[in-house]
Structure 1
C-alpha cells in the first residue's frame, strides 16, 4: 500500500511539474533591434572660405572651396563598411530600397559623403552589379534646396587681412589653417602650434557660445530640438506601426550634430570630427516594450561610445526617453522663433494705423461737406449740366 501510494505521489509530482512547466514557461521573444537612425557629419573637405592674406586661395584646391576631398570620401566609405559590419543580420547584405532612406542637406560635400557612405554600406553583388568592372551601385540620396584676448585677435586681424574679427571669422581662420595643414600645405610662420592651439580653443568656445552658455535651454529647443522632434516621431511610429525603413540616415554638418547633442545634453564640448556619427537604436525587449540606446562614433579605430541621456540608463525605456526630451522640443517653432515685436505684431500695428488714417480722412471729408452745406445761401440749388430750365 505504501509502495503504491509512493508511486502515485511520484507520478502526481511529475505531472504537476510538467503542468507548471507548461504554464510558467510561455514562449518568449528575444530582444531585437527594430530601427536605427544615424546623423553623421560630412567627411574631410577643403576650406569653406579663406582670409585675404592667405597664400592658398581657391584655385589651390582641385574642386574649390567647401568640397569633399578624396580623404573625405575614404572616411565615409570606411564608416559605411563599419556600419555594414555593425548591422549584419539586421540589414540585408544587398541594398533594398524599402529598408533604407537617406536625407542630406543640399551641399555638395554632404551629398557626396552620403554617396560614399552608401558605397561602403551596400557594395553591389550578384544581380545588383551592373558592370563587372565597377564595384558600386547608385543609391538615392534625398535633399531639399538651401535655403581670447584683444591682443591676440589684433594679431590675427593683422596677419590675415581681416577687418572684422569675430568668433565666427576666427573659427573660419582656424578651419582654413586646419584644412591646409591636413593636406600638407606649409602654414605661414605666424600660425605656430601655440597660435593654432589658441585658435582651436576659440573655435570650441564659439560652438559653446552658439549653442549654449546663454539661454542654453531655449537655444536647444530652437536649434537641435527641431531635428530631435522628428527623431522622436520616427521612434514612436516604429514602435507602434513599423511603417518606416529599418535605417534612416541624415547626412549633415558639425553644427547639426552639436545642436542635436546639446538638445540631448550629451555634448562633450568639442567640434564633431569629420565622418563622426550619432546613432539611435530602437530595441524591442523580450517583454514587448521598447528601449532606446545612443552611441557616438568619433574615432574610426574604436567602437562607438555609449551616450547616456541624463536621467535615464543607457538602455533607456522609450517612454522615459520621450518624457525626458519633451521639454526641448518646440511646439510651434516658427512662433517661438519670433521676437517680442515680431512680424505678426507689426502687421497688426500697420493695419490699425491704416484703419485709423482712413477713419480720420472720412471724418474730415464729412465735416468739409457739412461746412459747405451750411455756407450755401438760402434757396440755392445746384443745377446739373443738361437739366431743363423753367
Structure 2
C-alpha cells in the first residue's frame, strides 16, 4: 500500500496527470461539429440488406433527416460544449458572446437547435413559459449555393474533381477481404471508388442507428469497412490540392477573429458552425492536424482553441477533438508544431491553405448561374 501511495505522489510531482491546458487562459474557441444521427440518403438505399424496412423506418422523418436519437445526441453534444466552454458562454444567450452558423441543411439546423437547448437552458430571469423549459436561440445560415462550407456542391474547381474521384490507396489493400465481400454482394469493384467505400460505411452506420441489423456477412466486416472508410475520407477530403477549397475560408476566419481577440477588440469569443462530417474532416486538414482521427462520428466536434500561456503571455493554438458527446476531449497536434502551437507559427504552417471568401469564389470558378445538387445534404 505504501508503495502505491508513493508511486502516485511521484506521478503527481512529475505532472503526469497534468492537463495540457493547465496554466493557460482560454481566449476563443472556433469550432465545427457534425450533425446528429440521421436517416440514410435515398440514393444509397439500394446498398442496404433490407431497403424496404429501412425506407419504412425513414418514412416518419424523410431521407437524410435527423432522427430522435440524433436529437438526443446533439443535445448531449450541447451539454459537452457547455461543460467545456462555460467560461466563455455566459449563463444565458448573449449575441455579443457567441456566433452560430449552420449549413442550409435540415439535419444540421435541427442539430444546432437541439444542442442550443442544452447550452442555454432558461434561467429564472429569462424564463418565458410555464410549460416549456426552453429558450429560442437564433443562428444564421446562407443559401447552399453561396456557402463556403459546401464546396463539393458549389465550388467547380473542387466539385468537378470530387464527382469523378475513384481514388485508390495502397492502404486500402489492408482491407481487401472486407471490400471483396461487398464487391461480390453488389457486383461492382468497391475498391475502385473511395466515394463508394465512404458512402457504404455511412449508410450502414445510419442503418445501425435506426436499429435495423446488418446482414451477417456485412456485420462481420463492418469494422474493417470503417477502417477503409477512414482511408477513403482522407483521399476525398484531405488531399492538399483541394483542402483550401473545402475549408480555407473557415481557416481565414479563424485568423480574423483570433486577431480581434488578441488585439482586445469586442468580438464573439465562441464561434460555432453546425455542419457535416466532411466539414469537420476538411477543417482538420487545413489546420494540418496529424493524425486526423478518421471519419467524424455523429455530433463530433473539432475546435481550434486560442489560449494565452499565463506565465509568459504567449498566444497559442490548441486543436481539440470531441469524438462523441460525453467522451474525454482529445488534444491533437499541428504537423510541425508543439501541441500548444505558437499562434504565429500556426499561421505560418497553415497559411498556404487559407482563402478569403472573395478569392475563394474566384478560384472556385463560382458564377451566379451555377446550379447545385442539394439532395445529399438536405
Shift of 1:121: 0.7
Q: Quick check: which has more Rg, 1 or 2?
A: 1
Separation of aligned partners in 1, 2:224 and 2:84: 38
Aligned residue for 2:305?
281
Separation of aligned partners in 1, 2:183 and 2:29: 47
Separation of aligned partners in 2, 1:167 and 1:107: 24
TM-score, L = length of structure 1: 0.70
Aligned residue for 1:89?
87
Aligned residue for 2:6?
none
Separation of aligned partners in 2, 1:247 and 1:225: 19
Shift of 1:291: 2.1
Deviations 1:179-221 (A, max 9, x none): 2222221334553412x34433442232122134xxx322222
Q: 1:55 aligned to 52, 57, 82, which one?
A: 52
Aligned residue for 1:229?
252
Alignment of 1:106-255 (within 5 A): 106-147=104-145, 152=181, 154-158=183-187, 166-194=193-221, 196-212=222-238, 216-255=239-278
Separation of aligned partners in 1, 2:66 and 2:27: 32
Separation of aligned partners in 1, 2:207 and 2:232: 21
Separation of aligned partners in 2, 1:77 and 1:192: 29
Deviations 1:299-343 (A, max 9, x none): 3343211112122222222212211211222473345446xxx99
Q: 1:262 aligned to 285, 288, 300, which one?
A: 285
Instruction: Tell whether 2:340 aligns with 1:315.
Output: yes
Matched-pair contact (CA < 8 Å) for 1:330–1:336 = no
Q: 2:352 aligned to 318, 327, 345, which one?
A: 327
Deviations 1:351-388 (A, max 9, x none): xxxxxxxxxxxxxxxxxxxxxxxxxxxxxxxxxxxxxx
For the residue of structure 2 that corresponds to 1:110, the secondary structure is helix
Matched-pair contact (CA < 8 Å) for 1:51–1:173 = no
Structure 1: gaps (5+ residues): 1-29, 344-390
Number of residue pairs matched? 305
Matched-pair contact (CA < 8 Å) for 1:296–1:306 = yes
Aligned residue for 2:31?
38
Aligned residue for 2:161?
none
Separation of aligned partners in 2, 1:109 and 1:125: 27
Matched-pair contact (CA < 8 Å) for 1:295–1:307 = yes
Separation of aligned partners in 2, 1:154 and 1:218: 29
TM-score, L = length of structure 2: 0.72
Deviations 1:12-55 (A, max 9, x none): xxxxxxxxxxxxxxxxxx95322221111111111122333723
Separation of aligned partners in 2, 1:131 and 1:336: 49
Matched-pair contact (CA < 8 Å) for 1:79–1:275 = yes
Shift of 1:94: 1.6
Aligned residue for 1:385?
none
For the residue of structure 1 that corresponds to 2:45, the secondary structure is coil
Matched-pair contact (CA < 8 Å) for 1:52–1:162 = no
Deviations 1:107-138 (A, max 9, x none): 11110111111111110011211112211110
Separation of aligned partners in 2, 1:127 and 1:106: 32
Structure 2: gaps (5+ residues): 1-22, 146-171, 368-378
Deviations 1:139-174 (A, max 9, x none): 00110111266854542324xx999x8432343333
Separation of aligned partners in 2, 1:85 and 1:186: 34
Between 1:133-142 and 1:321-330, the stretch displaced more is 321-330
CA distance 1:97–1:187, shift in 2 (3 Å):
same
